[in-house]
Amino acid sequence: MLKPAIWALIEKGIKVVVVTLGSDGVSKFEGSSNRLAVHCPALSASVVRLTRAGDCLVGGTLASLCASLDLMQSLAFGIVAAKAAVEVDTNVSPEYDLAKIADDERTVYFAIVDRRRREVVDLV
């Protein structure tokens, strides 16, 4: 239902549109010579409260872009930051562990890469 509006934004010059899908992850849309849409799956989470999930998704994504990660890696990191936020009742989890976050980010990133590879194979 949102795709016409998303493509209209891209045709107006917006480079990338990211749409959050709650527990289904996010979708990224890009315009160029080809229209590109990529689904980024969420990680399963033991949800305590949903407050801050979107803020952490955006903050984790932007921080990763500023650290020179590519857009897909940055979205994967944003998804992991959102997961960490919803699993605790406090603002920052006492179990916040950079190694665990890096492992989760790799899981999401490789799930995205694998899904894209299967989609390309299905098109051939």
Burial string for 32-47 (b: 16+ CB within 10 Å, else e) reads eeeeeebbbbbbeeee
pTM: 0.73
- Largest Cα–Cα separation, the chain: 48
For each of the chain's 124 residues, which pLDDT tens digit applies? Answer: 788 898 899 889 888 888 888 888 888 888 766 677 888 888 888 889 888 888 989 999 999 999 998 888 899 889 988 888 888 887 666 666 777 778 888 888 888 888 777 765 554 4
List of domains in the chain: 3-118 (3.40.1190.20)
Distances (CA, A) of 69 to 19, 58, 62, 85: 20, 14, 10, 21
Distance CA 55, CA 58 (A): 5
What per-residue confidence (pLDDT) applies to 66? 92
Task: Return the SS3 of 89.
Answer: coil
What per-residue confidence (pLDDT) applies to 65? 92
